[in-house]
Amino acid sequence: MASFVDRVVLHAAGGDGGHGVASIRREKFKPLAGPDGGNGGDGGSVVLVVDPQATTLLEYHHSPHRRAPRGGQGMGDERDGAKGGDLVLRVPDGTVVKDRSGEVLADLVGAGTEFVVAQGGRGGLGNKALASPKRKAPGFALLGEPGEERDVVLELKSIADVALVGFPSAGKSSLVATVSAARPKIADYPFTTLVPNLGVVQAGDTRYTIADVPGLIPGASEGRGLGLEFLRHIERTAVLVHVLDCATLEPGRDPLSDLDALEAELAAYSGDLGISGGRVPLTERPRLVVLNKIDVPEARELAEFVRPELEARGLRVFEVSTASHEGLRPLTFALAELVEEARAAAPAPEATRVVLRPRAVDDAGFTVERRTDGSTGGVYFLVQGAKPQRWVRQTDFNNDEAVGFLADRLAKLGVEDRLLKTGAVAGDEVRIGTDADAVVFDWEPTMAAGVELLGARGTDLRLEDASRPTRGQKRKEYTERMDAKTAAREELWTERSAGHWADPSDD
């Protein structure tokens, strides 16, 4: 199994936020001393961080599902839940993050660069934080929000100054092994190199990296052979080197035809123009031609024969031999010169700008749309917005007081007024959220909003009254019932004494 993976699909999920708790402080001589429920902790996030020691995405190929820790639940005595720690995933330098549709989300270049893939959920507030002068002892708490879930594609694009381009067995791996300390696998059969190999070259005062990537064949830009697996790794390079095999024994191949095939594939390949290092087309980057294996007499003769035509095309040509090391020193210094020119021409890195995007004056933070259900033909009103949807996720619908609190918040935000303006009437169906996970309500615009209508803790008089009668209420009802029985008995005796109940046989 190959130990190098440069493309994986990562299923990331942020940690859920912890729930708040509804609790009442109990002290000596103060059985109900006020709310003391703590808040839930925030869930952890899934964060990608560039690590120079990482060289492959193999770890995420074997374990693609990653979830951050969830936040702890709040507790009584004003104790907040623990926050879930972030799940840090180490990725190689040059990793590109895309969504399923192929849109680039982040280009991670440089040690320490971070990107949050999945945000953790917020923790819910406890009843201590929800207390107010009017609602002194809330009988509910807010739920924690679920963490964000996202599927992303990670692609590794090697960071190198020079890329060696050539057919299989052209001698690219041997060239890297000769001019650097890298030791790639070298053999006399095609496609020996299956993964990119990086080497560091020191030429005078200039140090640069050189990449030996899998061999290129006609049709690679369309996915043939290693195809895009090869071309992806040369998008960021500043200099391209065409390594041409002058000692090949394959029929129909020669250095000139090989060069034409390589140039055609580079021209057909279109990289991600929005990624740093991929804006300049591959065909417009500085390039050199290396005529390799001149230690073979026939190869040296062929190199001397094709060199004038290559130079007529405006290309710098170097005749080298990795076996005898002939011509390697001039080649390394020529590459160093081109790399220095590319570095000098590169724009200076700009400081990160802090962009402030204030909310528009007429932006209410939510939208209300009148829609028709395609399956039933019924009309409903869809409410969408960050605040309404977050409030719905945090509401415990098993607690009437929490539902009433949600109604108060929505009314204060202006949702009811917007529904009236949109044409909603009593009894209409209202959905809050997306079509997939919306919460459905039967709207009652006449419902009063106010803390003064709250009943016992955990209840709301605006909703169905399921509260139990108190002892005083039971005593009052019993007294009224007994008084009614006594009055009925007295009325019965009065009628009997007046003779209204005479025996019918006496008539």
**Contact between 370 and 379 (Cβ < 8 Å):** yes
Q: Looking at the DSSP assignment, which residues form a beta bridge with residue 174?
A: none
To the question of whether residue 381 is assigned a binding role by annotation, the answer is no
To the question of whether residue 172 is assigned a binding role by annotation, the answer is yes
Q: Looking at residue 278, what is its pLDDT?
A: 46
To the question of whether residue 295 is assigned a binding role by annotation, the answer is yes
Q: Looking at residue 40, what is its pLDDT?
A: 95
Asked if residue 45 belongs to a domain, the reply is yes
Phi, psi of 283 (to 5 degrees): -75, -10
Query: How many domains are contained in the chain?
Result: 3
To the question of whether residue 321 is assigned a binding role by annotation, the answer is yes
Same domain, residue pair 375 and 414: yes
- Alpha-carbon distance 89 to 228, whole Å? 25
Asked if residue 201 belongs to a domain, the reply is yes
To the question of whether residue 76 is assigned a binding role by annotation, the answer is no
Kindly report the CATH number assigned to the domain that includes residue 307. 3.40.50.300
Same domain, residue pair 198 and 304: yes
> Domain end: 137, 156, 175, which one?
156
- How would you write the pLDDT of the chain (507 residues) with one tens digit per residue? 345 677 889 999 999 999 999 998 888 877 777 899 999 999 999 999 999 888 778 889 889 999 999 999 999 888 999 999 999 999 988 888 998 888 888 888 888 889 999 999 999 999 999 988 888 888 899 999 999 999 999 988 777 788 888 887 777 778 888 887 656 555 454 444 456 677 778 888 888 888 877 656 554 444 444 444 566 777 778 888 888 888 877 777 788 888 888 887 777 765 544 454 445 667 778 888 888 888 888 888 888 888 898 888 888 888 888 888 888 888 889 888 888 888 887 776 665 677 777 877 777 788 888 888 877 888 888 999 889 999 999 999 888 888 888 888 888 888 888 888 888 888 888 889 887 778 888 887 655 445 545 566 666 666 655 556 777 887 888 888 888 888 888 888 887 777 765 555 554
Q: Looking at residue 141, what is its pLDDT?
A: 93
- Alpha-carbon distance 173 to 177, whole Å? 6
Distances (CA, A) of 485 to 477, 489, 495: 12, 6, 16
> Domain end: 105, 130, 156, which one?
156
Kindly report the CATH number assigned to the domain that includes residue 374. 3.30.300.350
To the question of whether residue 212 is assigned a binding role by annotation, the answer is yes
To the question of whether residue 479 is assigned a binding role by annotation, the answer is no
- Alpha-carbon distance 232 to 237, whole Å? 10
Q: Looking at residue 29, what is its pLDDT?
A: 78
- Alpha-carbon distance 151 to 245, whole Å? 43
Same domain, residue pair 252 and 141: no
To the question of whether residue 194 is assigned a binding role by annotation, the answer is yes
Same domain, residue pair 137 and 182: no
Asked if residue 283 belongs to a domain, the reply is yes
For the chain, the C-alpha Rg in angstroms (whole number) is 38
Residue ranges of E strands in 364-451:
367-372, 379-384, 429-432, 439-442
To the question of whether residue 28 is assigned a binding role by annotation, the answer is no
Same domain, residue pair 205 and 116: no
To the question of whether residue 399 is assigned a binding role by annotation, the answer is no
To the question of whether residue 167 is assigned a binding role by annotation, the answer is yes
> Domain end: 316, 345, 374, which one?
345
Q: Looking at residue 90, what is its pLDDT?
A: 93
Same domain, residue pair 327 and 217: yes
Asked if residue 473 belongs to a domain, the reply is no
Pairing of strands 104-108, 95-98: antiparallel
**Contact between 392 and 345 (Cβ < 8 Å):** no
To the question of whether residue 168 is assigned a binding role by annotation, the answer is yes
Same domain, residue pair 270 and 175: yes
- Alpha-carbon distance 168 to 316, whole Å? 22
> In which domain, by residue range, is 175 found?
162-345
- Residue for token pair 């990608």: 48
Kindly report the CATH number assigned to the domain that includes residue 120. 2.70.210.12
To the question of whether residue 138 is assigned a binding role by annotation, the answer is no
To the question of whether residue 294 is assigned a binding role by annotation, the answer is yes
Predicted TM-score of the model (pTM)? 0.70
Same domain, residue pair 395 and 424: yes
Asked if residue 53 belongs to a domain, the reply is yes
Q: Sheet with 367-372: list strands edge to edge.
A: 367-372, 379-384, 429-432, 439-442
Nearest CA-CA partner of 89 in 145, 150, 31, 45: 45
- Alpha-carbon distance 97 to 51, whole Å? 15
Same domain, residue pair 173 and 294: yes
Q: Looking at residue 429, what is its pLDDT?
A: 87
To the question of whether residue 181 is assigned a binding role by annotation, the answer is no
To the question of whether residue 459 is assigned a binding role by annotation, the answer is no
Asked if residue 115 belongs to a domain, the reply is yes
To the question of whether residue 214 is assigned a binding role by annotation, the answer is yes
Asked if residue 401 belongs to a domain, the reply is yes
Give the tokens for residue 300. Answer: 């040296």
Q: Looking at residue 280, what is its pLDDT?
A: 64
- Classify residue 117 by its DSSP letter: E
To the question of whether residue 387 is assigned a binding role by annotation, the answer is no
To the question of whether residue 417 is assigned a binding role by annotation, the answer is no
To the question of whether residue 193 is assigned a binding role by annotation, the answer is yes
Same domain, residue pair 148 and 185: no
Same domain, residue pair 167 and 152: no
Q: Looking at residue 352, what is its pLDDT?
A: 60
SS3 label, residue 417 = helix
Asked if residue 409 belongs to a domain, the reply is yes
- Alpha-carbon distance 345 to 330, whole Å? 23
Amino acid at 424: A
Q: Looking at the DSSP assignment, which residues form a beta bridge with residue 442?
A: 429
Same domain, residue pair 206 and 237: yes
Phi, psi of 494 (to 5 degrees): -65, -45
